[in-house]
Amino acid sequence: MKTQSGSVTVELVILTPVLMALIMFGVYAGRSSEALIQVRHAADQAARAASKVSRASATNTATEVAHQSLANSGRSCVDIWVDTSILNRGEDSTVRVSVGCTIETRELLLLGVGSRQVSATSTEIIDRWRVDS
């Protein structure tokens, strides 16, 4: 009867890179979904905050709130950008805030994935009774 000593070692050596790639892909997928959730939340918070201030300070307020929200939620995002616009629709005005960032992939270079950007947009009605135009 022949023994197969060492076959487990060979199988482990062959499967280890595959298992590591699967783990790294799981990290990448988790980081991508986390970044998208964070960006959506930041856009919602920034639009809500910008709708409560005067039009002159809406852009600065939205930018500050979005950056603060993303800073408090983790390190998934780098290269953050915020775009704010005020839209007039009849008697009502709305503020639209778009927030985006690049997902941090520096630790995942072995996977061969490039940088990916996520973005989200949120719109809020400006409360004309609370805000001085």
Looking at residue 3, its pLDDT comes to: 66
Per the prediction, the chain carries an average pLDDT of 85
pLDDT in tens, 24-55: 888 888 888 888 999 999 999 999 999 888 88
pLDDT of residue 85: 93
For the record, the structure tokens of 47 come out as 């639009």
Angle, CA 55 vertex, CA 52 and CA 56 arms, to 5°: 120
Percent of the chain with pLDDT over 90: 35
Q: What percent of the chain has pLDDT over 70?
A: 92
Model pLDDT for residues 100-113, shown as the tens digit of each residue = 998 877 777 767 77
Q: Indicate the pTM of the whole model.
A: 0.79
pLDDT per residue as tens digits for the range 75-97: 778 889 999 999 987 778 899 99
Helices 7-50 and 58-72: crossing angle in degrees, nearest 10, is 150
Q: Under the phi-then-psi rule, with left for phi > 0, alpha for psi from -120 to 50, and beta for the rest, what region is 79? A: left
Q: pLDDT confidence of 8, banded at 50, 70, 90?
A: confident
Residue/partner pairs of 107-116 with CB below 8 Å, 24 or more apart: 107/27, 108/24, 108/27, 108/28, 110/20, 110/21, 110/24, 111/21, 111/24, 111/25, 111/28, 113/28, 116/32
At 132 the pLDDT is: 57
